[in-house]
Amino acid sequence: MSRRATVVRMAQKRKPVLPSAVRQYFQETGRQGGKVGGKLRWAGVSPEERSAHAKRAVAAREAKRAKKKRTKGRRQAGF
């Protein structure tokens, strides 16, 4: 297949563009849900459960940083 045929084929596969009014509606409804989402998610959770969840999140972040730090030298050496 020639390069031109590939480019034409890719151009035909583009996603349809939403009208601006529809896009604006989706943006507004998404923004409203985002403002309330966290509050509703944690409304029925006890402080102990929130604390446990936060500790797990911190542990996951630290593990990710430690892994990145361990493998940094190997990537530079070409391993």
pLDDT at 69: 81
Which residues does the chain have with pLDDT short of 50? none
- The answer, as to whether pTM is greater than 0.85, is no
pLDDT at 4: 66
Per-residue pLDDT tens digits for 40-54:
888 889 999 999 999
pLDDT at 28: 85
The 10 Å CB-count burial string (b at 16+, else e) for 11-37 is eeeeeeeeeeeeeeeeeeeeeeeeeee
Name residue 3's amino acid: R
d(CA 48, CA 56): 12
pLDDT at 10: 63
